[in-house]
Amino acid sequence: MPAYLESILHAHRAAAAADARDVAAAVEAARADLVDQRAAGGTRDFRGALRAGQAARGMAVISEVKRRSPSKGDLDTGLDPAALAADYEAGGASCLSVLTDAEFFGGSADDLRAARAACRLPVLRKDFTVSPLDVCDARTMGADAVLLIVAALDDEELAELLDLARELDLAALVEVHDEPELARALAVGADLVGVNQRDLRTFEVDRARALRMGGQMPEGVLAVAESGIRDADDVAALAGAGYTAVLVGETLVRSADRRSAVDGLLGAGA
C-alpha cells in the first residue's frame, strides 16, 4: 500500500526546514494580526458553532472545500470556494474545513480566504501542521481553527503547537486514529478531538473506528467524526455514538446539489 502520510509529511517537514523566517517574529506578527481581527469584529468561535449546530439539529456538520485527494485524484479542481462556502452555509453547515495543501490536495491559502469571506462560518485550516510557522500562517490567512494530527507529531510538538494555537485564538482540532493516539491527545489537554476513519498511511476507510471510539471521549471533549461519511445513515449512527459533529468532504464536493446534500446529512442527525 502507498505510504501517503510519510510522503506528505516528508514534503511538509522539508518545507518547514527550508523556511528561513524567524519563529519569534512570525509569532509577533500573528499576534498583531489577531489584534487587528478582533478590532474588525473578532474571530469566529469554532467550538461554539459546533455546539450550537448540535443543539439545533442533533449534529453539526463541518463541510469541506476540497479539490482533490492523493488516493481519489481530482474531485473538482475548478470549484469556486466562495460559491461552495455559500452553498454549505445555506444548507445548514456549522463550520467549514478548507484544504490549503497545494502539492497533494490542490488547495491554497487563497481558497481559505475566499471561502471565509463568502460566509459567516468559522473556518478550519485543513493542512499538515508540523511547525509553529504553520500555526502562525493559519492565523494570518484568517483561519479560526487549525488541524493537529497526532500521528504527524511527537508529544513535545503536539503540546507546543496546541499551546500556540490557543495563544493565537485558534481552535485546535486534534486528530487521532486509534486509542493510543487518543490517550496522547488527551494528555496534552485537547478538548476538540477528531477521529479520522481514514488510515493516513494507506488512505483506506474503517467505518467501525469512530463508532468504537465515540464512547471513550471524556466529558467536556467535543468529538468529531472524520472521513468516509456517505449518507444520512452514517450520520445517524455517529450521532448515536456521541459525536458532536461530522467532517464531510468528498460526499459533498461530488454532490450535484451541495446545499441539499448538507441539509440531508443534518436531517439524519436530528
Q: What is the pLDDT of residue 206?
A: 86
Alpha-carbon span 171 to 194, nearest angstrom: 12
Query: Within 13 Å, how many C-alpha atoms sit on residue 248's CB side?
Result: 29
Q: Which residues are catalytic?
A: 64, 66, 126, 175, 196, 226-227
Set of cell numbers at residue 181:
493516539
Integer CA distances (angstroms), 166 to 25, 27, 148, 198, in order: 18, 12, 12, 27
Model confidence at 270: pLDDT above 70: no
User: Do 65 and 215 contact (CB within 8 A), yes or no?
Assistant: no
Number of domains in the chain: 1
Which tens digits make up the pLDDT trace of 168-227? Answer: 999 999 999 999 999 999 999 999 999 998 876 677 888 889 999 999 999 999 999 998
Which tens digits make up the pLDDT trace of 105-123? Answer: 999 999 999 999 999 999 9
Domain of 195, in residue numbers: 4-269
pTM: 0.94
pLDDT-derived band at 268 (thresholds 50, 70, 90) equals low
CATH of the domain at 257: 3.20.20.70
